[in-house]
Structures are given as C-alpha cells and as structure tokens.
Amino acid sequence: MAEKQGLAPIPAGSPGPNGAGPGGLSSRSSGELTEGQIHTAFLIRRVEQALLRLFSEGRLYGTVHTCIGQELIGVAVAEGLRQGDWVFSNHRCHGHFIAHTDCVEGLIAEIMGKRTGVCGGWGGSQHLCEGRFFSNGIQGSIVPVAAGLALGEKLRAAGNISAAFIGEGTLGEGAVYEAANIAAKWDLPLLIVLENNHYCQSTAQAETIAGDIAQRFAALGIRCFEADCWHARQLFETAAAAAEFVRHESRPAFLRVDTYRLMAHSKGDDDRDPREVQAYWEKDLLEQFAKRHVATTQPLLAEVDARINRAVADGLAAEDAQVVRPGVADGCDSVPVRWHKATIASKDRFSQAIRDCFERQMEKDPRIVLLGEDIRSPYGGAFKVTKGLSDKFPSRVRNTPISESAIVGLGNGLALHGMRPVCEIMFGDFLTLAFDQIANGAAKFPGMYNGKVQVPLIVRTPMGGGRGYGPTHSQSLEKHFLGLPQTRVLALNDRVHPGEIYDRLFATIDRMTLVIENKLMYARRPSGETAEGFVLEHSDEPFPTVRLRPEGRADVTVVCYAGTLPMVEEAALRAFDQMEIAVEVICPVQLYPLNPYPALESVARTGRLLVVEEGLAFAAWGAELIARIVEIAPGRLEKAARRTAPAHPIPSSGPLEKAVLPNVDSILRSIAELAGHVGDDGDAGDAQRV
C-alpha cells in the first residue's frame, strides 16, 4: 500500500502527486469507462449543481452537502455492488444515492420538502431511504448499523454484502472502531469506504488525524484497498475488487479513496485557499473530459439537464410534505382500561423466567439474535438471564466486546434487516454509551424514512440500586430514554410474569423497545399473592398495569414502577395497619408511551398522588405523569408528591445507599404527609370525589 499518511492538499498550480496521467478520464482512455459510468457521474454533478441553484433561490430546506469532485467514488462502489446489497451513507450522500438508485426525482423532491420525495420530505438531504439504501446525518454510528446489516446477511447466508461510506473526519469517532473490530472478529461482509477529501468540514486533516489511516484497519486484520479519484480505471477496478473480496471471502474490507471536494462543505463555509481549490478543479477528470470531448459532453449534459429540470418542475408543483402523519403524535393518550384479577402462573425466579421465554421464542423464531457482553456459556450474562442459550443457539447468542455503541448499532442494523435482535446492556448505567444509536438511530429511522422501515429491536438492561455497586452501576437512567419518537419503554415488576411481557413483545414488536429490568428482581419470583384487604389486578393493556386495590375507600394513590413495587406494597399495608390510610397502588409496565388513565382514574377517587421512582426527580417520569393528569383533568389532583433519589451519585456504602434511595419508611412518611392534609371524613369518602 502506498504511504499516504499526512497527505497534504496539492499546492495551487502544482500537478499534484497523482496528476492526471494515463489513468485519467482522457480522450485516449475514455474507453476505460463506459458511457453509463460517465453519464451517472455527470448526472450526479448536475443534480448537485441544480440543488445549489435551488438553494440560492430559497427553494430548499436546510442545507446541501455536495460531493462535486467526488462523484466517481459513488459510481465505482455502486458498480461493485449487486442488487440485494446494502448501503449506508452519510450526510454527503447524494452521489451514492443516485449511483445506487438512479432516483433523481425522488431526491430532488425530498430536498425540496415535498410529499413526493423519497422520504415524503421528512428526511431531507441527509436522511434518505430507498430500497436497501440508507443515509444518516450522524457519522460514526452508521458503521455499526452497516455491520448489523452485514451480520443479518451472514446469519441468513444470503450472499449479499453491506457497504458503509464515511469521510476521514469520521475517523475521530469511536463507534467506527467498535464496529470494525466486531466485523473483523465475526468475519462480517462489510465494506467500509473512506472518502478521504482531506478536510473535516473546515479543518485540515493534518490537524486531526494521527498516524496511518489504513493501518488502523489493517491492525484489526481487515484487508485494505486504496485508490483515488484521479485514476478512474484503477478506482473502478479497486472498488470492484474490494466488493468482490468482501462477498467472496465473507470478511470485511476497508477501501480508502483519496479525493477532493471541489465545493464548500455545506454552503458558504469554505475557508480553503482558492488557489488550492482551483488546482483541483483543473485536475478534475469530469472537467477535463468535458473540455476535451465537447461534442460528446454537450448532448449528454443536455439530456441530463432536461431530466433534472423536469424533476425540479415536478418538485415545485408537488404537494408539500404532509404536516401530521397518522401515528406520529406522541401516542400518550389517556385510554380507558378494564381491570381483571391478576393471575401469575409460574413460580420461577425472574432470571429463569426470562431465560425460558427467550429459549421458547428462539426455537420458534430464527430471526431472534441475542447480542451482549459475557452472555454466552458458561457465564450466561452478569445476571444469568441467557444461561445455556448459546449451547442451543450458538450462532444466535453472541458475545461482543465491551462496545455498547456497537452492540445497539448492530441491533439497529439487524432490525432494519428484518431480524429480531435483543441487545443486553450489562448495567443500565452503560446505556449512555449507546444513547446515540437509540436516539439518533432506532428512534429516528421509522420517522425520518417516512415509515418505510421498522426497528423491531429489544434493548434490555438492569437498572436500580440496592446492591452496593455504587455511582456507576446502580442508577435508574430510564428517564433519559423516555419520549423518544417511535420507541417503547417497558419496566418489569414483581407482579407481572416477565415471560408474559416478552412473549407479547416478540409477537407484536414494531419499534425499538427498551426493557428496564432490575438487579434485585432477578432473584425474586413474580407473585400474585396478596395480603388480606387488598385485591391484585391487571389492566387489559397489551403490557398490563398492576393495581393493588384496597377493598373499600382509597385515601391515597401511589404510582410506581419497576423494582420499587414491593416497597410501595409494604408501605401500603403498613399505612393501613398503623395509620388507617388506605393506599391504592398503580404500577404500569409500559412507561412510554404513557397511558395516564389508570393513575388518573385512581386519583379521581383519592385526590392525592405519590409517585415513587428510583431515578432523579427532575424532569422524570413522575413529573410527566403529574403534568398529564393536571392537563387532562384539572382540579382532580389536590396534592401530589414524589419520592425519588436526590440529585447526587448513588453511594456505594450500604447504609448510605439505603438512605438516599426510596425505602419503605420514606415512602410511608410521604403517604402520611399526603394523607395528613385531608381529614378522615368517614362516609363522605365513600361517596367518592370523582
């Protein structure tokens, strides 16, 4: 491989290291590229030039990142790929898109914000989706997703490959290496294409990239290919060879293509030396071809321009994007529920019950793949939820490196592929490392691709304290994951069998679903047993809400979720036995989308609400619940309180941890305080405050 480390942009006026020599797109060598290749390259350039024009006329939304000067890369890679292959591109994706799909009209309409755009105007320039082509404006995170698509191909042995386009600025993002490591280790058919245009937006490569680019991938055992945009034949041959290697060997490859972006990064942000830019314009193969083959080029451009003009005219005439699509609201409507007596069949521990459910489901559905750290035999996961499953499903239960971003990224890719990935994040605290994949990937794909895809991905993780694991292994961070579009957040509790929840989830999953489990709960057994004087009920929601209803007048409503339920129940019993305060407990499984009805219905009777959660109070689930109740039914709620953890890291020391997290005593205190503001009005209470 040629030593290209620290390649400096060519000084103005110099021929450059690779000057347009025998490999160029010259008249002499025009036979080296087909008419189709030249046509596509010009089409891309003219489309982007049209977009720049439309932008300056104020007819586009957002901005446009053009690939003028880099077009041949997209054309060359598209030629190496086959139908059935997957492409994941980045913010500078128009060239890749046109080369792969030829969907000029859909692209122009999309960027014009029209309903006829490939994503109905929801995605725009950077977020395209057509067939098996995707692009996303988040850089490094596309590589794990592309690796996930490759894993899907590997598992299905369909013989297709996955290609990811990155710029060299993206080499600064860790997700790239997490994915490359896994792709190399697992022999995934993934082609990583690096378009090395020497500038990361405005920052020259010499300022940000250390060491050798290719060696980063070579060190992982990934085969590296190199080419540039000024030797067309070599570029096409290398791209074809790289794709063929990936397909034939079923192993990843890295293709570095040196190039130069002739226009600004975006719009009006070009601080490069104009002489340098000019030198590359002169070196540009399309420019040279147009000058030397005027007779060939003119009709070609005329044809291309006619198509573009038509597309623009159609775009202008098309309807604007639909303002509100059905199912795109936040989905947190108050939906009445009906209650029935709770029944819990099994007496297994939570960890065993979840495991057995996975085994049952994996036997039934070959699309289910489990990914996570230390989940294979003999360890079976930090909380033993996957114990023994890798013995039965060796290729579908996979140990990953410590790469949370890549774990969920792979899950995203698998889900887009149509698989049913289940990602285990060993501790909920580590979910922060995967936040980008969840918030900018899983949660956005369905909406920004205008409903063309679903992300049936399960991410499961234990939250909660109580084991002395300290500040980074005891948190309840779920509030940060609530309210993301097209997602669901569930929290297991002691009163619903986890198998019931996962069975339902596998049967109906249509979106990224985060399942909050609980460290202490794994050793417990789901139970339907209740104390005298209280009735345990489930709602008829798909993921049932639990209600512990006192037989008689309720004085206070306590809403909680996840691992806090046993404490709340104990407090409820003590509140009655010792203070004659009857507490109705409401414990939803589904935190988001939120159905406030079960809590609201209870609050309508009691007027007093306590929300107990283990996470921090500010902007938490309980705050949202209280806001919704007040919005929907003003005046019903006389008094509300919340019992949460203080805004402080969770201490490791047992007694300290116990003191800062909600406990039975503190919950009981809050109940007493809430009840204290309304006297025991005997019969009047029975008459209901509804």
Partner 1 sequence: MSAMTATRGMLSVSELTPVFAPLNNVNDETILIVEVRCKDGEAVQKEAVLLIAETSKATFEITAPAAGFIRLLVRPGQEIPIGDALCLLADSPDKLPAPGAAAPAQLPQAAGEKTLASSGSPPAPPAATTVVASPPATAEPEPPKSRRFSQKAKELIEAEGLDPAGFDKHGLVRSGDVLKKLGQTPTTVLPERILASAAAGNELSPAVGGVPFREVPLSKSKRTEIALLAEARAAAVTSQVSVLVPSEGVFTACARNAAFAGQMSSRIIFEAARVLRAFPMLNAGYRPGHSVQYDQINIGYALDIEHGLKVPVIHGADAAPLEEIHQRKQALVEKYLLNTLTVDDLSRGTFTITDLSSEDCWLFNPIVNKGQAAILGVTGEYAAGGAKPVYGLVLAFDHRLAEGLVASRFLAELKRRLTAHHAVLLRLLGGESEKPQEACCAECFRPASEITSLGGHLLKSVHHDGKDRLVCSVCVAGH
What is the per-residue binding string for partner 1 in 554-583, x denoting contact by CB under 8 A? --------------------x-xxxxxxx-
Window contacting partner 1 (CB under 8 A); options: 138-146, 342-350, 351-359, 484-492 = 342-350
The reply to whether 265 belongs to the active site is no
User: Residue 84 interacts with partner 1 (CB under 8 A)?
Assistant: no
Phi and psi dihedrals of 575, rounded to 5?
-60, -40
The CA-based angle 457-479-669, given to 5 degrees, is: 135
Window contacting partner 1 (CB under 8 A); options: 32-40, 231-239, 285-293, 676-684 = 676-684
CA distance 143 to 41: 25
Work out which of 407, 414, 536, 560 binds partner 1, going by CB under 8 A.
Answer: 536
Window contacting partner 1 (CB under 8 A); options: 132-140, 172-180, 299-307, 665-673 = 665-673
User: Residue 540 interacts with partner 1 (CB under 8 A)?
Assistant: yes
Q: Which two tokens stand for residue 434?
A: 């995967």
User: Residue 655 interacts with partner 1 (CB under 8 A)?
Assistant: yes
User: Residue 647 interacts with partner 1 (CB under 8 A)?
Assistant: no
**Distance from chain centroid for Cα 540:** 30
Question: Torsion angle, CA of 449/455/459/464, rounded to 10 degrees?
Answer: 50
In terms of CB distance, is 453 or 678 closer to partner 1?
A: 678
User: Residue 617 interacts with partner 1 (CB under 8 A)?
Assistant: no
Give the shortest CB-501-to-partner 1 separation in angstroms: 17
Number of residues in contact with partner 1, rule: CB under 8 A? 49
Q: Are 209 and 169 in contact (CB under 8 A)?
A: no
CA distance 420 to 414: 7
User: Residue 648 interacts with partner 1 (CB under 8 A)?
Assistant: no
User: Residue 667 interacts with partner 1 (CB under 8 A)?
Assistant: no
CA distance 426 to 421: 16
DSSP 439: I
CA distance 664 to 678: 22
417, 473, 497, 538: which one is catalytic? 473
Phi and psi dihedrals of 346, rounded to 5?
-90, 160
CA distance 371 to 360: 17
Give the shortest CB-391-to-partner 1 separation in angstroms: 23
Work out which of 158, 535, 627, 632 binds partner 1, going by CB under 8 A.
Answer: 535
In terms of CB distance, is 301 or 672 closer to partner 1?
A: 672
Q: Which two tokens stand for residue 289?
A: 């071809």
In terms of CB distance, is 5 or 666 closer to partner 1?
A: 666
Nearest CA to 220 out of 180, 264, 257, 267 is that of 180
User: Residue 687 interacts with partner 1 (CB under 8 A)?
Assistant: no
User: Residue 680 interacts with partner 1 (CB under 8 A)?
Assistant: yes
CA distance 486 to 165: 26
User: Residue 679 interacts with partner 1 (CB under 8 A)?
Assistant: yes
Window contacting partner 1 (CB under 8 A); options: 3-11, 214-222, 297-305, 526-534 = 526-534
Count each helix (H run) and each strand (E run) in the chain, helices first. Answer: 24, 23
CA distance 610 to 478: 19
Active centre residues (catalytic): 473
Can you give the binding site for partner 1, defined by CB under 8 A?
338-347, 528-537, 540, 550-553, 574, 576-582, 655, 658-659, 665-666, 668-669, 672-673, 675-677, 679-682
